[in-house]
């Protein structure tokens, strides 16, 4: 199993509060991703990173920010949590950026269940 | 705009029979298609993939078929086993540029004894 740890595993918070989710990897992979999973929508990309301090937006990035100061850590911050951000959040990693012309499958963490009340 | 669609939210199959999960896509430029399997309280795990230049890929009990003209792919599981009960996501990827996977909504497969 790929070495990916997400913390916390569960969190309950109130509307309007900031929340930070952490993803830590031990694989030294270049690419890291944050997805959210919601019924009827599958997995949707929030933000991704292709190196230290290099990040870009996904399809549902509004209300979220990310930071990557080290290869192994990718943080997702909800600046002011809303009830619509209640979801399961998954971090994923891959080394596909190091294989020009090829692709690599993603390895996912176990997820963080976030409830915004 | 949902580029990858799984129109069946759930599927129930008897143990030992064939399970067929379907997926449709709209972007003809996708280069690879992948299937992921997800158990409750776990992250998705890679199951099988297929290149856009092929029409079939087989791995044990799992076979993925690709029909490019119809923009349709399917995952066949035969014979189905109780441990196959999970949510299955299909995904597609463009090799050029940022290689971001686009996922379908998922299909919950239940294998009945």
d(CA B51, CA B100): 16
Residue percentage of chain A with pLDDT more than 70: 91
Chain B residues near residue A4 by CB distance under 8 angstroms: 43
pLDDT at position B1: 67
d(CA B113, CA B111): 7
- Contact yes or no for A42 and B46 at CB 8 A: no
pLDDT tens string A39-93: 888 999 999 998 899 999 998 999 999 999 999 999 999 999 999 999 999 999 9
- Computed on alpha carbons and rounded to an integer, the radius of gyration of chain B in Å comes to 14
d(CA B22, CA B19): 10
Task: Nearest by CB to A42, from B98, B99, B103: name it.
Answer: B103
pLDDT tens string A66-78: 999 999 999 999 9
**Interface residue A42 vs chain B (CB under 8 A):** yes
Instruction: Kindly report each contact of residues A68-71 with a partner whose C-beta sits within 8 Å and lies 24 or more positions away, as own/partner.
Output: A68/A32, A71/A25, A71/A28, A71/A30
Name the closest residue on chain B to residue A1, using Cα atoms. B45
Residues of chain B where predicted confidence (pLDDT) is lower than 70: 1, 96-99
């Amino acid at each position: 199993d790929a070495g990916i740890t997400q913390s916390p595993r569960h969190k309950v918070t109130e509307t309007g509060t900031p929340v930070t989710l952490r993803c830590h990897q031990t694989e030294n992979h270049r690419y890291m991703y944050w997805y959210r999973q919601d019924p009827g929508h599958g997995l949707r990309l929030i933000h991704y990173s292709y190196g230290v301090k290099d990040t870009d937006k996904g399809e549902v990035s509004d209300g979220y920010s990310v930071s990557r100061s080290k290869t192994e850590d990718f943080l997702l911050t909800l600046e002011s949590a809303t009830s619509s951000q209640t979801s399961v959040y998954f971090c994923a990693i891959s080394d596909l950026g190091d294989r020009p012309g090829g692709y690599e499958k993603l390895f996912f963490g176990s997820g963080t269940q976030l409830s915004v009340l | 705009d949902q580029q990858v669609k799984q129109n069946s939210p759930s599927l129930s199959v008897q143990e030992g029979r064939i399970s067929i999960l379907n997926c449709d896509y709209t972007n003809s430029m996708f280069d690879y298609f992948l299937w992921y399997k997800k158990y409750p309280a776990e992250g998705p795990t890679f199951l099988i993939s297929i290149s856009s230049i092929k029409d079939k890929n087989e791995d044990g009990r799992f076979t993925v078929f690709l029909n490019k003209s119809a923009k349709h792919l399917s995952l066949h599981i035969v014979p189905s086993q109780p441990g196959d009960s999970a949510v299955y996501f299909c995904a597609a990827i463009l090799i050029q540029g940022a290689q971001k996977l686009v996922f379908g909504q998922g299909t919950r497969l239940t294998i009945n004894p």
